Amino acid sequence: MNYIAATWEVLYNDSSLQNLPYKIESKRYKKTIISHASSWQGNYEYEIGNLRDNLRPGGRIIQEGPISTSNGVSVAGVRWMSREKWMPIKRTASLPVAPEIRVEILSPSSSREEMLEKMSLHYAEAAQEVWLCDEEGNMQFFSKTSVGQLLPASVLCPEFPERIDTD
């Protein structure tokens, strides 16, 4: 087990950190980031996961879960993993591999630079797509094969809408 995964396992099992109203992410150089997801972000997470699962059943939708990267542990709003990738790692505290699809729900504190850095990390860890959802529910799709270039639609789920309506 590498240092990042071992450290995350300790945090995950620390009972004093259970049920916190925010998420914890670790970064390189032993920095820890604490942030919270708002109710509207959680609503988008649910809608995106549910819609993705209904459009293309199979695999696993995981909301607000940690992913180990070479730069620490980050938390994705929504992740989709194929069953083949999910089954051997389903009991880990932090996913040791990137999901095929990672969805970030953007907030006013999210910078484009931070999102591009996260994209690069997850592509390096074998993610195939990164989806971004802004505060109005507008979706953007990016692929490992066209890093940084906005796609007109998801390659892995082309039916997914360009906008999520949560009303």
Give the pLDDT confidence of 21-72 residue by residue, as tens digits: 555 555 554 555 544 456 777 888 889 999 999 998 889 998 887 888 777 7
Burial class (CB in 10 A: 0-12, 13-18, 19+), 103: buried
**Tokens found for residue 60:** 């696993």
What is residue 158's predicted lDDT score, i.e. its pLDDT?
96
Q: Where are any strands of DSSP class E within the chain?
A: 23-27, 31-35, 60-69, 72-81, 101-105, 129-133, 139-143
> How long a stretch of residues is the chain?
167
- Look at the alpha carbons of 12, 17, 23, 24 in this order and tell me if their dihedral is positive or negative: negative
**Tokens found for residue 105:** 């729900």
- Per-domain boundaries in the chain: 3-146
Taking the C-alpha atoms of residue 44 and residue 166, their distance in angstroms, rounded to an integer, is 7
State the fold for domain 3-146.
Answer: tt1808, chain A (3.90.1570)
Distance of CA 116 to the CA centre of its chain: 13
Indicate the DSSP class of residue 138.
B
Tell me the per-residue pLDDT of 113-163, one tens digit each, with 9 for 90 and over.
777 777 777 777 778 899 999 889 999 999 888 777 889 999 999 999 999
9 band by pLDDT with thresholds 50, 70 and 90: low
Question: Above 60 in pLDDT, residue 6?
Answer: no
